[in-house]
Amino acid sequence: MISLMMHPVEEPEILAERFEASRPRLEAVAYRMLGSVAEAEDAVQESWLRLSRSEEGAIEDLQRWLTTVVARVCLDQLRARRARREEAFGPWVPEPVVAAEGEGDPAHEAELADSVGLALLVVLETLPPAERLAFVLHDMFAVPFDEIAPIVDRSPDAARQLASRGRRRVRGSVPDADPDRARRREVIDAFVAAAREGDFEALLAVLDPDVVFRIDRGDLPGPPSRELRGAQVVAENAVTFGAPFAPFMRPALVNGSPGVVVAPGGTPTSVAGFVVRDGRIVEIDLLADPRRLRHVDLAAL
């Protein structure tokens, strides 16, 4: 067990240093829980505020304490979000993590794509909050069930069952992607080129017959958020609505996988993640709410 003794003089520095050392893991937990960069940062900041207000004494295992606090904050946010969303219509797409292609560690990017791909986060959003928490903490961060149990007010066995249900739903809903990232980029580039040219047949050639296209515009005025299914419908949408924006599409890594950023005038207005399987696009997740894309740094691309 790690014991952090709080001394009057060195307490602030020790707390700040240890907290900053824990920040990357805490933000990773919060992002997988919430699917929002801004909300994840807020949850982690809340854990710091609670730590800085904690009573003097000893905190055994600081990492565990912080993870528990962040998890509780995220659980409360998920429950509040679920209540709000019951009155909302249309699909939800998470805030993406965008980076330039070819500059990172390929192994890390592959791991990121597997653990926090947009398609996975979309499925996680459908899980009940407690089920999502148990699955994320245990399966992604190896938190034992006896630590998860008090967060969700369940027994360790019940927490195990929550994670198991979440695992089954994820495995049954998240589509597998081609392992060859270069091939995935080639297919996505072909889709963008076909959309730019308004080439309906070329679009059909790169779309799976059962492709799913989610468009999340938030609560912006104009066309509503929607989910399109089937190559014919998706290709028609790409020709009608995608062609004007295709010239402003630039390649990027979206949550570790090839995707595109649309930035007319240099301002990101939408980001799309793709799932490519057997050389065809089976899923497109498009966030077209500029307010939720403020964290995207085009200079980094």
CATH number at residue 2: 1.10.1740.10
Q: Which residues pair with 286 in a beta bridge?
A: 215, 272
- Please report whether residue 230 resides in a domain: yes
pLDDT (0 to 100) of residue 104: 60
Instruction: Give the model confidence (pLDDT) of 119-151 as tens digits.
Output: 999 999 999 999 999 999 999 999 999 999 999
- Please report whether residue 113 resides in a domain: no
pLDDT (0 to 100) of residue 55: 64
Checking 236-244 for CB contacts under 8 A at 24+ apart, the result is: 236/200, 237/213, 238/191, 238/194, 238/195, 238/203, 239/195, 239/198, 239/200, 239/203, 242/195, 243/195, 243/196, 243/197, 243/198
Q: Assess whether 82 and 185 both reside in one domain.
A: no
Handedness of CA 172, 175, 178, 179 (dihedral sign): negative
- Please report whether residue 107 resides in a domain: no
Given 87, 113, 139, the domain boundary residue is 87
The CATH number for 275's domain is 3.10.450.50
- Please report whether residue 194 resides in a domain: yes
pLDDT (0 to 100) of residue 87: 56
> What region does 119 belong to: left with phi over 0, alpha with psi -120 to 50, or beta?
alpha
- Please report whether residue 292 resides in a domain: yes
Q: Assess whether 78 and 185 both reside in one domain.
A: no
pLDDT (0 to 100) of residue 103: 62
Please, which residues have CB within 8 angstroms of residue 114's CB and are 6 or more apart in sequence? 256
* Number of folded domains that form the chain: 2
SS (H, E, C) the chain: CCEEECCCCCHHHHHHHHHHHHHHHHHHHHHHHHCCHHHHHHHHHHHHHHHHCCCCCEEECHHHHHHHHHHHHHHHHHHHHHHHHCCCCCCCCCCCCEECCCCCCHHHHHHHHHHHCHHHHHHHCCCCHHHHHHHHHHHHHCCCHHHHHHHHCCCHHHHHHHHHHHHHHHHHHCCCCCCCHHHHHHHHHHHHHHHHHCCHHHHHHHEEEEEEEEEECCCCCCCCCEEEECHHHHHHHHHHHHCCCHHHEEEEEECCEEEEEECHHHCCCEEEEEEEECCEEEEEEEECCHHHHCCCCHHHC
- Residues (pLDDT < 50) of the chain are 1-10
- Please report whether residue 44 resides in a domain: yes
pLDDT (0 to 100) of residue 8: 43
- Please report whether residue 112 resides in a domain: no
pLDDT (0 to 100) of residue 204: 97
pLDDT (0 to 100) of residue 88: 59
Given 87, 102, 123, the domain boundary residue is 87
- Please report whether residue 143 resides in a domain: no
Given 87, 116, 139, the domain boundary residue is 87
* Domain with 292 in it: 181-300
pLDDT (0 to 100) of residue 25: 95
Which of 21, 33, 211 is CA-nearest to residue 116? Answer: 33
